Amino acid sequence: RKEVEQDPGPFNVPEGATVAFNCTYSNSASQSFFWYRQDCRKEPKLLMSVYSSGNEDGRFTAQLNRASQYISLLIRDSKLSDSATYLCVVIPMNTGFQKLVFGTGTRLLVSP
Amino acid sequence: DTEVTQTPKHLVMGMTNKKSLKCEQHMGHRAMYWYKQKAKKPPELMFVYSYEKLSINESVPSRFSPECPNSSLLNLHLHALQPEDSALYLCASSQDVVGIRLYEQYFGPGTRLTVT
């Protein structure tokens, strides 16, 4: 089983739609979680960190479910500019250096 | 300002060439990273520098040689690469390697490398 798993998509949605992505992780001791966004042929950019209580940033809401070991990202009122690959990132809490473990990404296509 | 810069943007090199990739950040971050990313795959960690010392080498072949001249600069020296090394090479930095909220990594735009 992969450490971090995501549905690769693509998710095709119209503008204005609400879309949700899930990501599951295998290491129950993981403590830090992030969503990154990567546009085609560009670098990953930190979208948001995911906190235990869940957090919201404008149209984006991230949730963490430790019992089921998944995190989610909800995008409301999708814009054309939201089209990108969304990477789920987990940091397993091993001793020593904490290394980012990336999921394979979920591709989102928002159409007019 | 969260900015990591990388040069060059694109690089084409032959298998016998020696070249270097450069990365710079001025955010006062003490951890810097090199990643390799192939098309439609997530970034793969190569090296980590923490406080200018190499702390992680993810079993990267010796034809890749990292260097951290100071806390703001990170180089990746390339020699005798293979065509399969063609990829996007990303540099990233974070405030530190330990401590909650210090893990947030900021990526540079990458160098697209083609080995012929």
Task: Give the pair of three-digit tokens for residue A109.
Answer: 């296509």
Looking at the predicted structure, is the pLDDT value of residue A29 above 90?
Answer: no
Determine the residue among B3, B107, B113, B114 to mutate to test chain A binding: the one whose Cβ has the most chain A Cβ atoms within 10 Å.
B107
Cβ contacts of B45 on chain A, cutoff 8 Å = 99-100
Q: Do B105 and A46 touch (CB under 8 A)?
A: yes
Looking at the predicted structure, is the pLDDT value of residue B100 above 60?
Answer: no
At residue A101's C-alpha, the angle toward residues A4 and A82, to 5°, is 75
Q: Return the percent helix, strand and coil in chain A, to nearest 5.
A: 5, 55, 45
Would you say B101 and B22 are in contact if contact means Cβ atoms under 8 Å apart? no
Q: Do A32 and B100 touch (CB under 8 A)?
A: yes
pLDDT tens, residue by residue, B13-52? 999 999 999 999 999 999 999 999 999 899 999 999 999 9
Cα separation, B60 vs B113, whole angstroms: 17
Q: Do A102 and B104 touch (CB under 8 A)?
A: no
pLDDT band at residue A51 using 50, 70 and 90 as cut-offs = confident
Q: What mean pLDDT, rounded, does chain A reach?
A: 91
Whether the CB of A97 is below 8 Å from some CB of chain B: the reply is: yes
Query: In chain A, what is the straight-line distance between the N-terminal and C-terminal CA atoms, in Å?
Result: 37
Cα separation, B112 vs A4, whole angstroms: 26
Count residue pairs from A and B with Cβ separation < 8 A: 46
B contact set with A (CB within 8 A): 41-43, 45, 48, 50, 55-56, 88, 90, 97-98, 100-101, 103-110, 112
What SS3 state is found at A31? coil
Of A44, A98, A104, the CB nearest to B103: A98
Enumerate the β-bridge partners of residue B115: B13
User: Which residue of chain B comes nearest to A43, CA vs CA?
Assistant: B109
Looking at the predicted structure, is the pLDDT value of residue B101 above 60?
Answer: no
Looking at the predicted structure, is the pLDDT value of residue A96 above 70?
Answer: no
Q: Do A43 and B90 touch (CB under 8 A)?
A: yes
When mean pLDDT is compared across A26-30, A40-44, A84-88, B34-38, the lowest value belongs to A26-30
Q: What percent of chain A has pLDDT over 90?
A: 71
Q: CB under 8 Å to A23, separation ≥6 — which residues?
A: A4, A5, A6, A70, A71, A72, A73, A88, A90, A103, A106
Task: Give the pair of three-digit tokens for residue B4.
Answer: 């990591």
Select from A102, A98, A108, A95 the least CA-distant residue to A36: A102
Cβ contacts of A105 on chain B, cutoff 8 Å = 42
Select from A91, A71, A34, A35 the least CA-distant residue to B99: A91
